[in-house]
Structures are given as structure tokens and as C-alpha cells.
């Protein structure tokens, strides 16, 4: 690859997809990594061993993927379908369809359902145990105000971010209408939404180099804690170049989070103390996706041009795996002596 970043960026995954990477996820049970790509494939890797374990093709670019358990997963594609795979046997089938490219897919353990969001402005819930075919698997369709751009789940809550800066919060136990309907507190297009692992709120990122930290609880005390911060900007000659923040990933143990932007940097933040903990060295291309492994020891970074500047020559797309040091992700509470052993 040209201009390979120094080894400080982590090791590169072997056999990466041949086109841009749309999303990547670690499994909740092991170090398996599922990667979805614009080259129409969904690939399963063993990240620790750095080996490709399986590849599945779609009819169109795959925009998102997620695990069901360690042996099966789902993917969402621009060919309007949602597919499910059983990795061990290599079997795959179509779980259902939308009327437009399917942008996001998540699996909810709490509800036992697959949730997909699409540019046809709907959210659909599917029951993966059903036989294939929408008549068997579709549980419900929920209209959204606009095209769905990002989804995130925690516990029984689902947050949906759409075009036009809308954000809907649903309770999975009662999907008939959103629990809360909000407009994004940021001023520009939303890129990504991720819920905090502790279930108290979510982080929202936009194209204007900002991330907003919000809370579900509508009480005054909780709402007073919300804030937004600027990030992923480059200052030159008094003007800022403002990069979109494409990805947010929470560390499963510490609750701190990493953000990745089109500037090629990954920053790690402590949301409670409002500090930045670390910044990794610049990656060759925009950061399209981030994921922490279940034990928080590995961070997968998809350095893949996201076409935010149109079709221009760009660096090779690649996936880097970093071994995480505690110092990079552990919160440092305001100092009290004897606190925070590191």
C-alpha cells in the first residue's frame, strides 16, 4: 500500500476487501471481525490470527453488517436486501427486503429481533428464527420522517438518526410510536449515532466536526448534562477545515469512546470528564468505521475513503488492528490523589 502508516497504526488485516469499507464489527464472543464493503462482499476474519475465514457476496454494495452470535450474522445492502449468514456452513439467505438501499442493521438481544433502517424512510424489525421470506420474518415496519442514516441499540432502547437531523428514540417493547422524537442538537447532517454502553444516553456525530452527547432521561438534571464538542478539525490560517465525524465506538469496559473522522484521525474521549484521552497517528485515508473488541483490547480501524470529496484519487483502503493500551482508553478522573492507578 502506498504510504503505509508507521507501525504505530496497528497491523494491517490481510486480504482486505477490494473496495471501500462501509462498516466493521467485532463479535461479542470472540475476536472475529465482520467487515462489509462496497465491493459487495461481507467478510469474516479472525482478527487475532489475521486470517480471512469466510466471504459472502451480495447483489450490491453492502452498507452494514452485524453479528447474531459467533456463528451467524446479518448484512444490509444497497441491493435492497437484508441477508443472514451461517458462517460455519457458509449458508446464506435473504431475510427480507426494503424499497431502497438498506443502510443499517442491528441485532437486538433483548428483543431477539433484527432491526434494519433504510433510505426508503422505514425501519423494519425481523424475526430471524423465521423461515426465509418477508411474510415469515417481518415483525413490523415503522415509518421515519426521513431516510435512515444510523441506528444504535442499547438494552431495550433504539435510537434512529435520519436525514434532516431527526432523531427518534424507540422502546423496543413498544414500537408503535417513538418514545421520543427529537431534532439533532447539531446543526448539520447527522453521520452516526451510538448509545452509551451504560444505556443512559447516546452520542451523535455530524458532518460539521462535532459530537453531541445526549441523554435519554428528560428530567432537568439529566438534560443539563448534555453537551457537544468540536473535534476532527484542522485549523489553518485562522480558518478551520471541518471534517465529518463518521464513526463512534464505545469501549465496552471503560465507557470511553473513540471517534473517527474524514481527517484520518482517531481520537479517544472521556465523555464524563470531557477530555480527550488520546489521539492515534493519522491514518492514510478517512476513517469509515471503528470497532472495539469485546474485551476492549483491540480496536479495528477502517481507513477507507468515504467519497466525501467526490471521486478523487485516494489511498488504498485498509483495515488496521490496534492493540489498545490502557492509558489510551482509561478515564482519568479529576485528580484525587491515590485515584486512578494506571
Partner 1 sequence: MIRRPEPCRNFQRGSCQYGDRCKFLHTQPQTRSNPFGFGSQSSSRFSQTSQQPKPNTFGFGVQDATQLSGVNNFGARNQNPSKLFENKWIRPTATTNSTSSQETVTQKQAAVHECTDPESCKRQIIEDLKNEAPLWKLTCYGHWKYLPCDIVGDISYEELRANAYEDAKRGLPLQSIVERERSLWNSKVAEFDNLVRSPYVIRNSGPTAVNQFSISSNTLTVSPLSNKPPTFSSFSQLGTSASVAPIMSSGSQISGTPSNTVFIQPSFPKNKSQISGGSEMKFGAFGTVGGQLPMQQFGSSPGPSNSGRTNGTFVGEPPLQQFGSSPRPSKSNITNGFMAMGSEQAPLHSIPQFFSSSNQSSGSLDGPKAVQSASNQAAAGDKQDIGADDTIWLKEWDIGEIPEEEPPERVCLDINY
Per-residue DSSP letter, 221: H
Report the C-alpha gap between 310 and 25 in whole angstroms: 26
Binding to partner 1, residues 135-164 (CB under 8 A): 142-147, 149, 163-164
Minimum gap (Å) between residue 88 Cβ and partner 1: 31
Binding status of residue 180 toward partner 1 by CB under 8 A? yes
| Minimum distance from residue 86 beta carbon to partner 1 (Å) | 27
- Cell 492493540 maps to which residue? 323
Using the minimum distance from each CB to partner 1, give the nearer residue, 16 or 209: 209
Q: Does 296 bind partner 1 (CB under 8 A)?
A: no
Alpha-carbon distance 151 to 116, whole Å? Answer: 8
Number of C-beta neighbours around residue 230 at 10 A? 12
Distance CA 42, CA 342 (A): 38
189 lies in the site for partner 1, by CB under 8 A: yes
Q: Binding of partner 1 at residue 235 (CB under 8 A)?
A: no
| DSSP three-state, residue 163 | helix
Minimum gap (Å) between residue 309 Cβ and partner 1? 3
What does the alpha-carbon distance between residue 306 and residue 20 come to, in Å, rounded to a whole number? Answer: 7
Task: Report CA Rg, the chain.
Answer: 19
Scan residues 304-333 and list those touching partner 1 (CB under 8 A). Answer: 306-313
The count of residues interacting with partner 1 (CB under 8 A) is 72
Beta-strand pair 287-292/266-270: unpaired
Residue number with CB closer to partner 1 (87 or 243): 243
Q: Report how far residue 33's alpha carbon sits from residue 11's, in angstroms, rounded to the nearest whole number.
A: 14
Based on the shown chain and the rule CB under 8 A, indicate whether residue 260 belongs to the binding site for partner 1.
no
**Locate cell 439533532: which residue?**
184
Smallest gap from residue 136 Cβ to partner 1 (A) = 25
**What is the nearest approach in angstroms of partner 1 to the Cβ of residue 119?**
7
Please report whether residue 98 would count as binding partner 1 according to CB under 8 A.
no
Q: Is 240 in the site for partner 1 (CB under 8 A)?
A: yes
Residue of the chain from 2, 3, 131, 219 that contacts partner 1 (CB under 8 A): 219
Instruction: Give the nearer residue to partner 1 in terms of CB position, either 149 or 250.
Output: 149
Question: How far separated are the first and last CA of the chain, in Å rounded?
Answer: 36
Amino acid at each position: 500500500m502506498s504510504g503505509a502508516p508507521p507501525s504505530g497504526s496497528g497491523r494491517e488485516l490481510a486480504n482486505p476487501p477490494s473496495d471501500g469499507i462501509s462498516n466493521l464489527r467485532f463479535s461479542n464472543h470472540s475476536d472475529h471481525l465482520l467487515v462489509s464493503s462496497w465491493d459487495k462482499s461481507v467478510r469474516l476474519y479472525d482478527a487475532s490470527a489475521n486470517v480471512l475465514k469466510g466471504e459472502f457476496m451480495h447483489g450490491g454494495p453492502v452498507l452494514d453488517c452485524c453479528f447474531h452470535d459467533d456463528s451467524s450474522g446479518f448484512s444490509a445492502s444497497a441491493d435492497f436486501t437484508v441477508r443472514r449468514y451461517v458462517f460455519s456452513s457458509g449458508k446464506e439467505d435473504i431475510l427480507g427486503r426494503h424499497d431502497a438501499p438498506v443502510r443499517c442493521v442491528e441485532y437486538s438481544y433483548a428483543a431477539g429481533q433484527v432491526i434494519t433502517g433504510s433510505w426508503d424512510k422505514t425501519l423494519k424489525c425481523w424475526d430471524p428464527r423465521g423461515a426465509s421470506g418477508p411474510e415469515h420474518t417481518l415483525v413490523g415496519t415503522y415509518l421515519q420522517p426521513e431516510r435512515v442514516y444510523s441506528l444504535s441499540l442499547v438494552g431495550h432502547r433504539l435510537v434512529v438518526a435520519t436525514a434532516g437531523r431527526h432523531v427518534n428514540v424507540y422502546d423496543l417493547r413498544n414500537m408503535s410510536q417513538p418514545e421520543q422524537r427529537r431534532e439533532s442538537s447539531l446543526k448539520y447532517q447527522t453521520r452516526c449515532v451510538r448509545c452509551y454502553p451504560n444505556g443512559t444516553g447516546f452520542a451523535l456525530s455530524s458532518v460539521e466536526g462535532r459530537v453531541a452527547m445526549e441523554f435519554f432521561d428528560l428530567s432537568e438534571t439529566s438534560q443539563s448534562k448534555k453537551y457537544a464538542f468540536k473535534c476532527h478539525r484542522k485549523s489553518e490560517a485562522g480558518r478551520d477545515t471541518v471534517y465529518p465525524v463518521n464513526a463512534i465506538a464505545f469501549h465496552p469496559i471503560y465507557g470511553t469512546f473513540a471517534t473517527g473522522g474524514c481527517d484520518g484521525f482517531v481520537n479517544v474521549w472521556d465523555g464524563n470528564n470531557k477530555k480527550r484521552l488520546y489521539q492515534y497517528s493519522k491514518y492514510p485515508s478517512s476513517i469509515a468505521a471503528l470497532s472495539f473488541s469485546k474485551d476492549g483490547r483491540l480496536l479495528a480501524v477502517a481507513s477507507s475513503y468515504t467519497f466525501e470529496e467526490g471521486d478523487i484519487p485516494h489511498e488504498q483502503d485498509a483495515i488496521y488492528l490496534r492493540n489498545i493500551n490502557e492509558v489510551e482508553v482509561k478515564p482519568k478522573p479529576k485528580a484525587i490523589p491515590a485515584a486512578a492507578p494506571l
